[in-house]
Amino acid sequence: MLIKSAAIIALMVVSVFANAQQETLASIQTNNDPKVKVEVFPNPTTDFLTIDLSKLDLKKPNIEIRNIIGSKMAMIKEDEGDKKIRVDVTSYPRGYYLVLVKDDQSKFQQTIRFSKK
C-alpha cells in the first residue's frame, strides 16, 4: 500500500512538472525570432555558454538556468563586460536547458533554450 501511494504521489509530481514545462515551452523564443533580445551562444555547447544582454537596458537582470523539467541549475558565471556573461556548463548532463532572464524594474522577462552536448 505504501509503495502504491508513493507511486501515485510521484505521478502527481511528474504531472505538475509536465504542465509547467508545457507552459514554459509555449513562451520560449529561439535566436531565429526577430523579437529576441537575449542571445545565447554557442548553441549547442559543450563547456561554456555566453549570455549576451547588450541589446537590453536592464538595471539588475536576474539570470537562471533550469533543466527541461524546471529544476534550477547551479551557475558558475563570470562577467565578460559589454553586458555579456559566460557560464560554465561543463558539469551539466547532456540535454536541453532554459536560460531565464528577468528584470523586476522594467518587467522584462525572456526564456531562451539551449542544448548541452
Q: CB of 42 within 8 A of CB of 54?
A: no
**pLDDT values of the chain reduced to their tens digit, one per residue, 117 residues:** 545 444 444 444 444 444 444 444 444 544 555 566 999 999 999 999 999 999 998 989 999 999 999 999 999 999 999 999 999 999 999 999 999 999 999 899 999 999 999
Alpha-carbon distance of 91 to 64, in angstroms, equals 16
Alpha-carbon distance of 116 to 92, in angstroms, equals 7
What CATH homologous superfamily does 2-116 map to? Immunoglobulins (2.60.40.10)
Residue 58 in grid coordinates: 536592464
H or E stretch covering 20: helix 2-26
The residue extents of the domains of the chain are 2-116
